[in-house]
Amino acid sequence: MISHETVVYENSFSLEGRTFKNAGYVSRQVKTLLQRMKLSKEVVRRAAIVTYEAEINICSYAQRGKIILQVTPKQIIIEAIDEGQGIADIKLAMKEGYSTATEKIRHMGFGAGMGLSNIKNFSDFFHITSEVGKGTHLKMIIRI
Amino acid sequence: MTLREVQEILEAEVFFGHDQLGMEVKTAFGADLMSDVLAFAKAGSLLLTGLTNPQIVRTSDVLDIAAIIIVRGKRPLPETIRLAEELNIPILGTKYILFETVGRLYTKGIVGCIEKVSDKRDFS
């Protein structure tokens, strides 16, 4: 018997950091997988947006990272775990407009300081923990 | 209006998507900040931007953007066109600056995908 908490699908995707070479590739895979599950367009779009934002952050700031996708009958759980510099002041990083982006990142059209607040806005649940010098862990939940 | 009408109004070059010029578009969002596009652009809208890198296609793909119009006479990078082909997102280019591009489309009936930024969560 499948309860509401049962993980019916799980997958993990590795990400290379400090390069935009494949930025967005994992989000596309996540979106394709969710589309195949016949979830609503809005839910799939939100999951793709938060995954993409997290992916861009890893490609921008971390050494490496991974995105873990879990689907239960009730929700989509996306975790982005990276090894990197971490965030010293999470409250400040959550502020719209605050960014530590380099020129290269800004040149790509990112680094406006919207990423984390965007993730929060598009998620039903969002939690972030970070350790300076170790890395950052994001958990996003989108209810189906 | 159709994407073909948009192309005619903007005297635009079609880099990819000749076979999709019949699609209907009603709304648009213009920005060079992909972070802002992710925050505010709505599904089915046109994206008007001066950026040319593959992230404009990735961002459009995530958001279900109908088509991309590159402004100011810039040309997409070869890898940007390749990605647009792979993800099947039409990509056009116009010599008009962003202000003129927006004005020309607006007077013909295309409106912003949102009018103002709202405080409420909106997932459309």
Question: Does A6 score more than 90 pLDDT?
Answer: yes
Question: Does A2 score more than 80 pLDDT?
Answer: no
* Residues in chain A, total: 144
All residues at 6 or more sequence positions from A136 whose CB lies less than 8 Å from its CB, including other chains: A57, A62, A80, A81, A82, A84, A86, A87, A128, A129, A130
Average pLDDT rounded to a whole number, residues B98-111: 98
Let me know: does B16 contact B81? Beta carbons within 8 Å: yes
pLDDT tens figures, A74-121: 999 999 999 999 999 999 999 999 999 999 999 999 999 999 999 999
pLDDT tens figures, B3-50: 999 999 999 999 999 999 999 999 999 999 999 999 999 999 999 999
Q: Which residues of B touch A48 (CB under 8 A)?
A: 62-63
**pLDDT at residue B124, rounded to an integer:** 78
Let me know: does A65 contact A80? Beta carbons within 8 Å: yes
Would you give the DSSP letter of residue A94? T
Is B54 strand, coil or helix?
A: coil
Locus of tokens 């990400």: A15
Model pTM?
Answer: 0.96
The answer to whether the CB atoms of B59 and A45 lie below 8 A apart is: no
C-alpha torsion A98→A104→A106→A110, nearest 10: -90
Question: Does A1 score more than 80 pLDDT?
Answer: no
Q: Which two tokens stand for residue B2?
A: 């159709």
Locus of tokens 């019949």: B22
**CB count, 10 Å around CB of B8?**
12
All residues at 6 or more sequence positions from A59 whose CB lies less than 8 Å from its CB, including other chains: A15, A16, A17, A18, A19, A20, A22, A23
* Residues in chain B, total: 124
User: Would you call A70 an interface residue with chain B, using a CB distance cutoff of 8 Å?
Assistant: no
**pLDDT at residue A5, rounded to an integer:** 85
Let me know: does B29 contact B45? Beta carbons within 8 Å: yes
Mutation test of the interface with chain B: which of A43, A53, A57, A114, choosing the one with the most B Cβ atoms within 10 A?
A114
* Cα A86 from Cα B111, distance rounded (Å): 41
Instruction: With cut-offs at 50, 70 and 90, classify the pLDDT of residue B119.
Output: confident
Question: Does B100 score more than 80 pLDDT?
Answer: yes
User: Would you call A45 an interface residue with chain B, using a CB distance cutoff of 8 Å?
Assistant: yes
Chain A segment 82-141 residues within 8 A of B by beta carbon are 108-115, 118, 121-122
pLDDT tens figures, A111-138: 999 999 999 999 999 999 999 999 999 9
Q: Which residues of A touch B54 (CB under 8 A)?
A: 24
Is A42 strand, coil or helix?
A: helix
